[in-house]
Chain A
Amino acid sequence: MNPTITVLKREFAGYFRSPVAYIFLIVFLIASIGLTFFVGNFFDGQTASLQSFFLFHPWIFLFLIPAVGMRLWSEEKRSGTIELLFTLPITTTRAVVGKYLAAWLFLSLAIVLTFPIVLTVGYLGNPDWGVILASYIGSILMAGSYLGICSFTSALTQNQIISFILSVLVCMVILFLGWSIFSDFLSVLFPVWIVDAFSNFSFTTHFDSFTKGIIHLHSVIYFLSVSAIALTLNILALER
């Protein structure tokens, strides 16, 4: 078997050997659906769309993905299993990619499990299915970028709490770059083109177009390259 798949399989199964996975899934589903109804006022919109559902994804991810990613490497370091893993005939790159893909698969599962809300709008009205599909693709890609950053920061420490806080901070900076309140503030200080350049580095700027049903190639490349850069740093951090 391909060593990357071996690592992926072990890691993915590992989520379900402890209650952590189930708790995460429950919290994620309650948070994403709850925010849609109680903060996003799903019914008041009177439209058959999931705009008010996907609107919150960047914010939910900000806290929940570091919770998944914080243990990726810090736990291996703390328990010493990293010594086992890196003395098996597996390269660092394959180990990093295998563990990352396992976590991404898990997050994708969590995102897909929100499908009852899709059934709900389908039952209540006539939504644009293309927009919903594009939004889901955008959400999964964005989750991958968040996760890449968390995987990298977890390789810097053997303490999960430090790993969590570092991940939230880094993701928060990237998220805030595109937040309107923040860019309004920036536009007081800088010319518009600088503010625009900044917001082009934000998750929300790229995710927004997905939620409108537009899949820009450059947005797909953006999310994939954030993950790739983070994973490259991750590999460098682990090689001694």
Chain B
Amino acid sequence: MVTVQNITKDFGPNRAVDNISFEVTPGTILGFLGPNGAGKSTTMKMLTGFLTPTSGTAIVNGYDIIKDPVEVKKRIGYLPESSPAYPEMTMIEFLHFIADCRGFTDVTERAARLEEVISLCHLDNVRNQTVETLSKGYKQRVGFAQAIFHDPPILILDEPTDGLDPNQKHEVRKIISGMAKDKVIILSTHILEEVDALCNRIIIIHNGHIVIDQTPDEIRKELGPKLDEVFRKLTSPAHTS
């Protein structure tokens, strides 16, 4: 359960996120949409504890992101945009580092989880390849493996299918919807068909404000049959609220 309460972020004189509130319950795959610079990534970075909000807060499974950042981080799996990883480490070393950070001390449990994640993300043939030599698709999957490693109740994914080929996209979507049952999943994307295929709730954010927060079906019923037309209508420069 994630509850965002009046969260605001300023970067100098610019307000990136302006007084946003929403609540996400387990079982939801929330699609976070909006033009570039709308404040999607900033909101996600605040939820994951990377950025401190200028005002407002969020409660993640009972823990306040400002008062208990470490407890919050234990419960979140996060895939940052462009999925950074230490370039000089091999894939397996990197995942061992993540296992260390996530407190997997039991050797057999750790080994079992490693194998599980490696096969789930199809990383088997790059075990001993350094991260810097991996292709974009593999890098993205290493980032995904890192995010789901500790089987977190909350998963925050910043453009999880960016840079993947159609088959890999399909694969990642399948993994995401397979995990959705009892998790909160928040993902941002620019691919509207992905939202259709995956999400049961949509938030469109524009200039730091939420302009819509509904299910895909409700949006279709009220605003029109085509998501991309709705998106354009709500976020075009003319429509600045």
Would you give the shortest CB distance from B108 to chain A, in whole angstroms?
16
Cβ contacts under 8 Å, A240 to chain B: 51-52
Whether B88 and A17, one on each chain, are in contact in the complex, defined by CB atoms closer than 8 angstroms, is yes
Cβ contacts under 8 Å, A18 to chain B: 88
A14–B74 CA distance with the chains assembled, in angstroms:
25
A10–B103 CA distance with the chains assembled, in angstroms:
15
Partner of A239, one of B48, B52, B78, B97: B52
A84–B85 CA distance with the chains assembled, in angstroms:
7
Task: State whether the Cβ of A190 lies closer than 8 Å to any Cβ in chain B.
Answer: no
- Residue tally, chain B, CB below 8 Å to A: 31
Task: State whether the Cβ of B163 lies closer than 8 Å to any Cβ in chain A.
Answer: no
Cβ contacts under 8 Å, B52 to chain A: 239-240
Given A83-B45, A87-B78, A239-B52, do A14 and B88 touch, yes or no (CB 8 Å)?
Answer: yes
Would you give the shortest CB distance from B144 to chain A, in whole angstroms?
13
Task: State whether the Cβ of B100 lies closer than 8 Å to any Cβ in chain A.
Answer: yes
A91–B71 CA distance with the chains assembled, in angstroms:
11
Would you give the shortest CB distance from B45 to chain A, in whole angstroms?
7
Cβ contacts under 8 Å, A239 to chain B: 52
Would you give the shortest CB distance from B230 to chain A, in whole angstroms?
31
Would you give the shortest CB distance from A154 to chain B, in whole angstroms?
16
Given A17-B88, A83-B80, do A89 and B105 touch, yes or no (CB 8 Å)?
Answer: no
Whether A10 and B48, one on each chain, are in contact in the complex, defined by CB atoms closer than 8 angstroms, is no
Task: State whether the Cβ of A126 lies closer than 8 Å to any Cβ in chain B.
Answer: no
Task: State whether the Cβ of A120 lies closer than 8 Å to any Cβ in chain B.
Answer: no
Whether B74 and A10, one on each chain, are in contact in the complex, defined by CB atoms closer than 8 angstroms, is no
Whether B84 and A80, one on each chain, are in contact in the complex, defined by CB atoms closer than 8 angstroms, is yes
Would you give the shortest CB distance from B126 to chain A, in whole angstroms?
16
Whether A1 and B80, one on each chain, are in contact in the complex, defined by CB atoms closer than 8 angstroms, is no
A90–B82 CA distance with the chains assembled, in angstroms:
21
Cβ contacts under 8 Å, A14 to chain B: 86, 88-89
Residues of chain B having any CB pair with chain A under 8 Å: 45, 48-52, 69-71, 73-74, 76, 78, 80, 82, 84-89, 93, 97-98, 100-103, 105, 130, 146
Taking A1-B105, A17-B130, A87-B49 as given, write out 20 further A-B residue pairs in contact, using a Cβ cutoff of 8 Å, ordered by the A residue number.
A1-B100, A3-B101, A10-B97, A13-B93, A14-B88, A14-B89, A18-B88, A79-B84, A81-B84, A81-B86, A86-B49, A87-B48, A87-B73, A87-B76, A87-B80, A88-B73, A89-B101, A90-B70, A90-B73, A91-B70
